[in-house]
Every structure is written in C-alpha cells, then in structure tokens.
Structure 1
Amino acid sequence: MTSIAKNKNNIELLSEKNVKKYVLPYYGLHNAEVSQVKLKDTDKQRAVYRVSYKDKEYCLKKVYFPLEELLFVYSAVEWLYRYGVKVPRILSTLNHSRYVNYENMLFILTPWIDGDKCDFDSIKHVLLTSGNLGKIHKVSQNFKPILGSSEKIGCTNPHNSLNKHYNNLMTYSNLAFKHNDKFSRIFLDNIETSLLLAKTSNNISSSINLDNLSKSLCHNDYVSKNIIVDKNDIWVIDFDKCKYDFCALDISYCLRRLLRRDGTKWNVELTITFLNEYEKHNQLTIDDYKYILSYLAFPQKYWKISRDYFANISKCNKKAFISLIEKVVAQHEDQLNFVRKFTEYIEFKFGETL
C-alpha cells in the first residue's frame, strides 16, 4: 500500500464515527457526543476531539509519538499533579490502561479544561503564567519517569545552534547579493542590525557555563495556547513536547512569544517583572540569565524566513515572504534596544560585566 493510501485510510479511521465506535467504549463512554476540534495530517499526524457524556466533558487525543514517549508524558503529568500543579490527568480505561491502541494508533483521554486562553495583554495573566512556570520547574528538579519510559532529555549547548544560525545569515547574505530581488534587497538593507543581534547572541552564549544552568522537567511549548486561566487558577495542557531540559529554554521560549506581540513588543520592564515573579518560586543563576539573553537577542524570525525563502525561491509565494520579512525587520531596532537594556539589568543584578 502506498503512503498516500495509508494516509487516506488513517484519515477515514480518525472520523468521529470511528473513534466513537472503536475508542470511547474502552472508557465506558457509549453513545457520547463527539466533535473533532483539530486534525493535523502531517508526518506527525494528530487529532483532537471534544467528547460530551452526560454532564461531563473530555478531551480525546490521538498522539503522534510511540508508547515509550507517551509513558514519559504520563509520568510528567502525574508528577506535577502530585505537587499541586493544575494539569489534566490522563484518565484510565475500564481495564486500567492509560491509552487505547486502535489500528496501531494511540489515544489518550483527559478531562476537558474550561476557561480562557491566557491573555498576554493582561498583566495578571502574565504574572500567573510566570509564577506557575517557576513552580513547575522548582517541583520537578528531581523528576524521574516511570519504568519503560523513553529518556527525553534535552540540555544541548545553546551556543552550537546559535553559532550555526549566525553563520547561516552570512550564507543568506551571499545569496541575497546573487538574486538581488525585492526580498533580497530588504534582507540586505537590514543585515547590519541583524548581524549585530546575532553576534551579541553568539558572544553571550559562548560564555555560558553549562554546569551552572538550572535543569528540571520542562514543558517546551509553554505559550498562551497551552495555558488556560479559570478564575484565579491556571492550568497547563499539552505536554507532548515535554522533556528534562534547561529551565532557561522554557522561560526563553515563553518570553519570545510574549515579546514579539505588538502590545508587549520587546518590553524590558515586563520581562523583568516576569522573571521576578518566576524567581519567587525558583531562583535563577547568572548563566540562566545569559541563556535567556542570548536566546532573545538572536533575530530568529529573520533567520527562519530567510532560510525558507532561499531554500524555495523558485516556487515560493514571494509576495507573502516579502510581507513577512517587512513585518519582522520593523521590530529589529526595538529588539536591539531591548538587548542593550536587558544586558544592563543583568550586569547590575549580578555585578558582572557580560
């Protein structure tokens, strides 16, 4: 059977009718109402359903990773639940399994979490988000997954990737000179500021002492879509990407999403407030701060858009790419000012020159 045929069959298997008939009975949810809320038909195929049964709501999800990784995710959720972090637990089937294997696809069921998606325009939500992340990292420093789990460990040297990306920008500069189209000219008009950001990022990351970086269980996708606010409670969902990693990576990933937004654009005061709230629960080292600074300093969007453009220049939608890069470079001066101010703050906080 061809891969196209397999994908087609998988999509048919993932219909609401089929999961209702072949998956939900394992949970005793006969005749439940099912609606598909997400279907991502890629190499990492996933699907999400909202399930209503009597007066309860559930989330049924087809996962895209093997059983060993699912056991790691289950371990992470249970660990955090036992330490008081609000997470939707993976529910048991009638035969006490934590998943259903249907046509070689794994499904899990959790309670459906009602509430509002975290609003990064709300300082209250931002503080709840940062404080909760500090709590997650504090309680999971000694996290151990259950027997049979895969070892999902990150902790890679950030300088390796940042240095590689810095060199990529030099390559893209040569390509821009060669093609000399509108996108390339916009790229070259902004290369000086972009290289300054990338060089700063590269230099700071090269000075990080990896042994002095804080480590814990990390969510690795701790952004507004995965943070639900219910009154004064905060819930964290979707632990698919979680692993044992540097705390600063989780923090940096969340902050970058926060700081790219128009309403909170490269706001150094908000960043400091975020980190102060985080540190009420989990103290950070100077190397954690260096990691965060180097991560936020790199012109990641500029690099990524340029990479994708020059790799697909003969077949891409050039107008769309031009629009994307124009939007990105409009923030570069703000990003550069942020880096300068944040560097000054770190130097003052730790009494060291970076």
Structure 2
Amino acid sequence: METKIGEIARRFGLKVSTIIPLRAVYLVDSNEGRFCLKKINYKEDKLLFLYGAKEYLAENGFDRTDRYRTVYRKPFVKYKDDLYIMTKWIDGRECDFHNPLEIQEAARNLGRFHIASKGYVALENSKAKSDLGKWTKIYLQRCEDLIYIKNLVKMKSVKDTVDTLFLRNVDTCYRMGLSAVQMLQGNGYFEQVEEEEKEYYLCHHDYTYHNIIVDMEGNQHVIDFDYCKYELRCYDLAHLIMRNIRRFYWDFDMAMELIDSYHQVRSLSDRELKLMATLFQFPQRFWRVCNRYYYEKYGWTEDVFLRYLEETIGDMPFQIDFLEKYYKKFM
C-alpha cells in the first residue's frame, strides 16, 4: 500500500524508487534524479511570492537556487489541508564559514543575488513581503521590550544571579538601541528606502552557512528562501558580516574583507555603509536572548540562560571596539 509521502511525491509526476526522511524534509530518489520534498507551514500566496522570486532570479542569470518543481504550473501539491513543495536536490555541503575564501565568495555571490533581483514584481495572487521602512519601528519596539522586561524583573521580590546580571547591563543596551534609532534618522534611512523601493530589490534575510550549499565543483547555491522579502540590500550583507565576525571577537579586518568582496560585484554607497553601522550598533543579541527567556518563556533553564547572557555581555566590549573602528572609517 502506497504511503502518504509516496503518494505526494508521485503527484509531482515522478516514478519514485526510495524516500528517506531527513530531519524536516524527505530525500526522494526518482526516475528524474534526486529531489527534496517538504511540507510548508505558510500559505499559498507566500509560496507564490517565493516561487516567482526564484524564477525571476534564474531569468536574470542567478539560477543556482533550489527552484521549485511545478505541477500544472503550480509549485506545490496539496494533500488534504497541507501544502508540499519539491525542489531539486543539490549534492554538496554547507558553506564553511571558517574558510575565509568561502566566506568571501559568499559575499560576492550575495552581490550577484541582489543585482539579479532588481525589478522583481510579485506575481498575481501572491503576497509580497516587505520590511522596507520598518527599521525605526522595530528598533523602538525592541527598546520598549527591554524596558518592559526591566520593570518585570525589578518587581521580583527575590532576584537571582540572572536578574542581577540583566539589570546591571540593560540600561547600556537600551542606550545603544536608542542611539541606533537616532543614527537611522541622521544617515538617510528613509531616503535609501525610497530609492530602493522604486527598484524592487530582494533580500534573502537568512543568508547564512546552512543556506549556502557548495557543490562538487565549488559553486555556491542559495537555498531556503522562506524569509525572502523586499528589504534594503545592505541588511543581508551586514548580517552576513555579523554572523562571522562575532565568532572572532568582532574582527574588524574580516568585516572589511567581506565588504570589499561584496563591493567587487556590487558597489556600496556611502549611505549604505553608514546604515550598516546601525545594524552593527543595535544590541540585537542581548534583546533576543532576554526576550526569549523573560518574555516568550522559551523554555531555557536558568543555567542555560545565564550562559547565553554572560556570552552576550562578554561580547559587548569587542562590539564597541569594532564600532569605534567602523565609525572612524565610514562615518
């Protein structure tokens, strides 16, 4: 008797030989090669936006992505109330962010992605996603979160080690957040938004090692577009930089190498470089760790949270030193 997953794979028009479950996906061997089958947790209109984005990128020369297999011109199969997608399996490995050459190529490839995305207009019946113009609101909301959490902690009759450490550092992080908001206003954020909004550029929004697959020839493929949206392109670059330099005590030289690598493909404006400073400035990691523990009740034990909080706070002097060097060079 055919299994549910086997039936879904067959509906994609394949003769299936084997199906192997791998974490949240299925590896499907078929008469047309290997594919990745996955149930998605979002609606058809969002999927159509992502499908259109990948097809548009391919039309513009950026075809190394996990494009969708279509059935009757639709990039999904519906099984009861669930949507399933199928993409070509890319034989390779995750990008090695410990290898400077691979990180630099990832930065160049990001530039190619941004260039190819120019002009993408969402398909009819799709739901366009955009964070353009939202940085100020997001920053202010997260600053308010810190004050809310601070007030909650201060009301506790008995404060533990975690509470004491949080209270000792929250005001500094709050000031860093407000400073980032002021920097947005002073460095042309809304002018940059207005400029890029007219051109319809895409941002991957989760451009990290496990979403970059290096094939046997060394080519890099970009996968998992679930968070892709209209956004300032410098957001992607700034977050690629932060994901790497944090592991090396906010290494300024590494950041400059990644900026230079990206710049080889797509020129960065002075305004973009200044706006990236606000992303480096905002205490995102402190906010995220504290928000998950106090506000979202993430399920961490006190010991686990204490370790994360200590790591985050211990990281801050290196972040501040990096910011001083960055300001001196670009501001």
Q: Is TM (by shorter chain) over 0.5? A: yes
Give structure 2 stretches of 5+ with no counterpart: none
Against the structure 1 CA distance between its residues 280 and 91, is the aligned structure 2 distance closer, same or farther, given a 3 Å change threshold?
A: same
Aligned to 2:29, the other structure's residue is in SS state: strand
Against the structure 1 CA distance between its residues 303 and 314, is the aligned structure 2 distance closer, same or farther, given a 3 Å change threshold?
A: closer
Give the aligned partner of residue 271 of structure 2. 287
Q: Percent identity?
A: 26
Aligned to 2:3, the other structure's residue is in SS state: helix
Give structure 1 stretches of 5+ with no counterpart: 1-15, 40-47, 348-354
Separation in 2 of the partners of 1:109 and 1:310? 38
Give the aligned partner of residue 204 of structure 1. 183
- Native 8 Å contact 1:194 1:332 kept in 2: no
Separation in 1 of the partners of 2:204 and 2:38? 18
Q: Does 1:336 align with 2:314?
A: no
Aligned to 2:28, the other structure's residue is in SS state: strand
**Which residue among 85, 88, 112 is the counterpart of 1:135?**
112
Matches within 5 A, 1:338-353: 338-347=322-331
Q: Does 1:247 align with 2:233?
A: yes
- Native 8 Å contact 1:77 1:87 kept in 2: yes
Amino acid at match of 2:229: K
Q: Does 1:238 align with 2:224?
A: yes
Q: Which moved more, 1:161-170 or 1:57-66?
A: 161-170
Against the structure 1 CA distance between its residues 158 and 182, is the aligned structure 2 distance closer, same or farther, given a 3 Å change threshold?
A: same
Matches within 5 A, 1:1-354: 17-20=3-6, 22-39=7-24, 48-54=25-31, 56-85=33-62, 86-93=64-71, 95-179=72-156, 180-191=159-170, 193-209=172-188, 210-213=190-193, 215=196, 216-230=201-215, 231-261=217-247, 264-311=248-295, 317-347=301-331
Count of aligned positions: 320
Separation in 1 of the partners of 2:220 and 2:272? 25
Aligned to 1:197, the other structure's residue is in SS state: helix
Q: TM-score, normalised by structure 2?
A: 0.88
Q: TM-score, normalised by structure 1?
A: 0.83
Amino acid at match of 1:72: F
- Native 8 Å contact 2:14 2:31 kept in 1: no
Separation in 1 of the partners of 2:67 and 2:154? 53
Amino acid at match of 1:92: T
Against the structure 1 CA distance between its residues 152 and 55, is the aligned structure 2 distance closer, same or farther, given a 3 Å change threshold?
A: closer
Aligned to 2:167, the other structure's residue is in SS state: helix
RMSD, matched Cα: 2.3
Task: Measure how far apart 1:321 and its partner are.
Answer: 1.2
- Native 8 Å contact 2:292 2:298 kept in 1: no
Separation in 1 of the partners of 2:270 and 2:325? 16
Task: Measure how far apart 1:169 and its partner are.
Answer: 2.8
Separation in 2 of the partners of 1:316 and 1:25? 41
* Residues 195-234 of structure 1 deviation map (CA, whole Å, 9 limit, x = unaligned): 4533432331232322224631111111111001123311
